[in-house]
A = this chain, B = another copy of it.
Amino acid sequence: MSSKLRVLIVGGVACGPKTAARLKRLMPEAEITMIERGGVVSYGACGLPYYVEGTFSNINALTHTPAGVSRTPEFFRTWKGFQTLTRTEALSIDRRNKQVHVRHLDSGEEKRLDYDKLVLATGGKAFRPPIPGLDLKHVWFMTHPDDAASLVQTIDQQGLKKAVLVGAGFIGVEMAEALINKGLEVTMVEMMDQIMPGIIDEDIARLSQIHLDDNDVELVLGERVTALEGDDRVQRVVTDRQTLDADLVVIGVGTQPNDRLAREAGLDCDRGITINQYGQTSDPDIYAGGDCVSNHFINRLVGERLFVPLGSTANKHGRVIANHIAGRPTPFSGIGCSSIVRAFEFTIGRTGLTEGMARDMHLDIAVTTWSGQDKPHYMEGSRLFVIKMIADRRDRKVLGVQVAGMGDGAKRLDAAAAAIYFGATLDQLADVDFCYAPPYSPPIDPLAVCAHVLINKLDGLAAGIGPLQAKDQMDTSECLLLDVRIEDEAKMEWIPHSRMVHIPLDQLRTRFDELPRDLPILTYCKVSMRGYEAQRILNAQGFDNVKFIEGGVGAWPFETAMPGL
């Protein structure tokens, strides 16, 4: 038996190669073997939609280093110094003898590999909904470069036109853009009443849905797909309400942890393999990381463990595991539930808790929505976007941030992710010295402005009402909608309601008598800064049932009215 530490890694996509490469640098003497069931190792699965839409034309880009070297077993041997066995499946773990029973998928040869430390990086697998027809031709799950390659090849060769996407999560939204950009007709069917359910709240989803609709994505929400039909090839997608024609179907209804090996070996699992902050499973000689494990939330605010498969987390796990094996322990702080997706010109994303999650946890929260430009209005490329912010009412800590829109929400999400990691209060977030220059941001960063609005709300100054709540109030009770924009703006596009008044803010101080004192008033403007000022002015005049619609027209997630429509 060798005196060198033998490390066996099962899975060669993200966490596996990261663990192996890091460990080899920390312990050049370790004998590291990585086994992978597929023929390809270390590929960028997140890049598949961008291959489909033609952002890059060679699928090999996903399996090559930036310098253009293919990440083959030979590459890992000569460049990184560890052994890789492809087309090799792990059948079972013999924890007593510290062996993994493996089989070569082509030769059928079986053997037992010894380990001192075992790393399970078995990844996730696409959830297969329990419906008939999944095995028809032209039905794809987007998990492997081969899937994307065969999808593109089939579309190009057979001239497929009508795509139906089942599921409106990340894969659905990314593939909708990809296939529209490729010239197909796209229908996206989602069982829940909104896109990206569980990832973003309804208001942010509704805004994004308007944008998808503007980009010709046919959205079918609140319908469950019950069957895929066709002879040989898929031809129809049947829901509980209708039947949709389809030349191809892409299924993206979630990922499951590939934790069979761990479960069969008796390791603790919950929503995936349970690991501690060093990546150890309930067997201290067995580690796990990547899409096969569950994670805790950064500040343990969320009690339950979460299953959030992400390439970024998988890479962090790899480093944490390698460090611990090498005797240089560095704890993993947990996930912050940060995620982002591009949907045409929109950036949609979130970090921390959603309003829905926070309410489910019975937290006492305050919420606001802001809209505005990401740069000074006079700068080229200044774009509108929306920020939604959720804070704890008691300690004023920021719990979550969501963005949607054309503007640079990605920057604000990452800054918010850092702030939430450190338990920032709203005041602290607003006080961070963000970089200011006109090509990058307004003098007060939108993230700080949004925090200010929420502070004002908590302080009882800003009586904001969220767009969903405003719509509900307008639909179900008597209220007056007061537009305080200038004439030119008000003529172009407005929020429709049966009782509307238009008084530009500069005339408000002299036209109080036009407003009823016995009716709730909802004020608004383009982004609701002036709406807020109107509320303050009316309050000072004794109008005490006044709210401004947060985010104004910019964040209004329902249809607006325009002249002639």
Interface residues of A, Cβ cutoff 8 Å to B: 14, 25-26, 28-29, 44, 46-47, 50-51, 55-56, 61-62, 66-69, 75, 78-81, 170, 298, 310-316, 319, 328, 330, 332-333, 335-342, 347, 349, 351, 373, 376-380, 408, 410-419, 421-424, 427-429, 431-441, 443-445, 452, 459, 461, 485-486, 488-489, 505-507, 509, 525-526, 530, 532-533, 536-537, 539-540
Contacts and interface: CB of A to CB of B under 8 A. Distances in A.
Contact of A338 (B80, B340, B422, B435): B435
A379 B51 CA distance: 9
Contacts of A336: 432-433
Given A75-B506, A80-B533, A378-B61, A432 B443 contact: no
Nearest to A525: B67
Given A46-B443, A50-B379, A78-B506, A67 B533 contact: no
Highest count of chain B CB atoms <10 Å: which of A170, A435, A540: A435
Contacts of A417: 415, 432-435
A428 B334 CA distance: 11
Given A61-B377, A373-B66, A333 B428 contact: yes
Contact of A55 (B50, B378, B525): B378
Contacts of A445: 312, 414
B315 A378 contact: no
A134 B333 CA distance: 58
B427 A330 contact: yes
A180 to B, nearest CB: 15
A413 B435 contact: yes
A436 B25 contact: no
Report, nearest first, the 6 A-B pairs whose CB atoms are least far apart.
A336-B433, A422-B422, A78-B506, A312-B436, A61-B378, A28-B540
Centre residue among A29, A62, A330, A440 by max chain B CB count within 10 A: A440
Nearest to A435: B340
Given A75-B506, A319-B452, A509-B78, A46 B338 contact: no
Given A417-B415, A486-B68, A433 B351 contact: yes
Given A424-B422, A443-B14, A505 B414 contact: no
Contacts of A452: 319
B414 A435 contact: yes
A487 to B, nearest CB: 11
A137 to B, nearest CB: 28
Nearest to A27: B540
Contacts of A429: 418
A254 to B, nearest CB: 17
Contacts of A416: 418
